[in-house]
Amino acid sequence: MARKTGSHAEITGPRIRDAALRLFAQHGYAAVSMRQIAAEVGVQAGALYAYTPDKQALLFDLMKGHMEHLLESWEAVEQPADPARRLEAFVRFHIQYHLDRPDEVFISYMELRNLEPENFTALETLRRRYEDALQGILTEGCAAGQFTISDTRVAVMGLIAMLTGVSTWFRESGRLSRSDVEQVYWDMTRRAVGRAG
Amino acid sequence: MARKTGSHAEITGPRIRDAALRLFAQHGYAAVSMRQIAAEVGVQAGALYAYTPDKQALLFDLMKGHMEHLLESWEAVEQPADPARRLEAFVRFHIQYHLDRPDEVFISYMELRNLEPENFTALETLRRRYEDALQGILTEGCAAGQFTISDTRVAVMGLIAMLTGVSTWFRESGRLSRSDVEQVYWDMTRRAVGRAG
DNA sequence: TCTTGAATTGAACGCTCGTTCAATGGATGC
DNA sequence: GCATCCATTGAACGAGCGTTCAATTCAAGA
């Protein structure tokens, strides 16, 4: 058998991860069988258990990996001092990242209820950290007198929902380019937080 | 046996509908069995088939019923002549409606991929009609010089995503009342479409 | 050439699934 | 009291589920 070590995986074979990602995104976690995933990889179902302890771990690895990578990627973005510029960076980053990874995004929003409680809590914590990054920007912008927001927490939830929604309708072959879309969402965001220019 | 008539149901017994709604919302369509639904109603699984032809019809009835009721409800709202007032009415209606029916909303966003193609198409059409209602308001507001929106289609998608998101985090027992939340979202919306007051 | 050892198979485990249907049983009208 | 009717039961169907594991395969090291 292959590795069963490293209890909290991320070591799951990349071919298995990719197959599970695609299938979970397309049909949903509960509707996809281990046999389907195995077939996609070109292997028998039993072989998967050399790489993952069970189906749940496969889902959790995907979701945890996605959130951690999202956080790391945002932390790697250079942060302008000006809150408005920082918000713009966030909006553009968020849209780019989400358009680049439609399957991960889909799973991370849709499959939360299929996580076992302990895994769910871990995911919530990661998500909360990301929301707090945006909340920090909004709070500073308000303090600096650049934004006018009656409730920054609601603004965070509203803006993230708005921006994340882009991945439900955007098509590469559509009327608008990515940078068009980025610009439109940034215009809306800028004005929603009460900044004219 | 009971009625099997009325091919495109809505006749599904209310007790069954309610049980299916609650269970689908909580665990997801694929993860809920007919036996679970039956147990919730207090009958054996076989009895369900007197009210619904199959499990898929149960899901489709719920989703179609929700979208049709949403459209009817919006059409019943009195429409102010002023585009900004009309937009305000839409925002407040949308939030109220979605907070009143968290389970229906959840299902209608999460279970689209579990619909058979023909049912999916029917749902998309209904959803599109609702989006078009908002798009009409935005277009008129632009024409009247009240709104400044670079792309009304993207604005529709962004605003609906933002507003619908409220049902993912709002708790009746939370810090804010419904009307607080309505007001905050309306403030953000108003400014996002480029209207100051 | 033989040995080792990990990767994979394929059968099997006990369950649960959606759906069907003959049998049942309890109310209703005569 | 009897016949009728029909909603409901409960067993059964074939299929597929997640998971396990003895047996096999096969490449690399001696």
B63, B107 contact by CB (below 8 A): yes
Neighbours of B68 (CB within 10 A): 13
What pLDDT shows up at residue A12? Answer: 74
Is A114–B158 a contact, with Cβ atoms under 8 angstroms apart? no
**Chain B contacts of A158, Cβ < 8 Å?**
162-163, 165-166, 184-185, 188
Is B31–A114 a contact, with Cβ atoms under 8 angstroms apart? yes
pLDDT reading at B186 higher than 80? yes
How far is residue B101's CA from residue A168's CA, in Å, rounded to a whole number? Answer: 22
Protein residue at shortest CA distance from C1' of C7 = A1
pLDDT digits (tens, 9 = 90+) for B93-144: 999 999 999 999 999 999 999 999 999 999 999 999 999 999 999 999 999 9
Mutation to test the B interface, candidates A162, A164, A180, most B Cβ within 10 Å? A162
> Residue A138: what are its φ and ψ, rounded to 5°?
-65, -45
B104, B67 contact by CB (below 8 A): no
Q: Does B36 touch chain A (CB under 8 A)?
A: no
State which amino acid sits at residue B15.
R
Q: Give residues 97-156 of chain B lying near strand D (Cβ < 7 A).
A: none
Alpha-helix residue ranges (DSSP H) falling in A5-151: 14-27, 34-41, 55-75, 83-100, 102-110, 117-143
DSSP 8-state code for residue A45:
G
Is A169–B187 a contact, with Cβ atoms under 8 angstroms apart? no
Nucleotides on chain D that have an atom closer than 7 A to a protein CB are 6-12, 16-22
pLDDT digits (tens, 9 = 90+) for A114-162: 999 999 999 999 999 999 999 999 999 999 999 999 999 999 999 999 9
B146, B84 contact by CB (below 8 A): yes
pTM: 0.92
Give the nucleotide with minimal C1' distance to the Cα of A57: D18
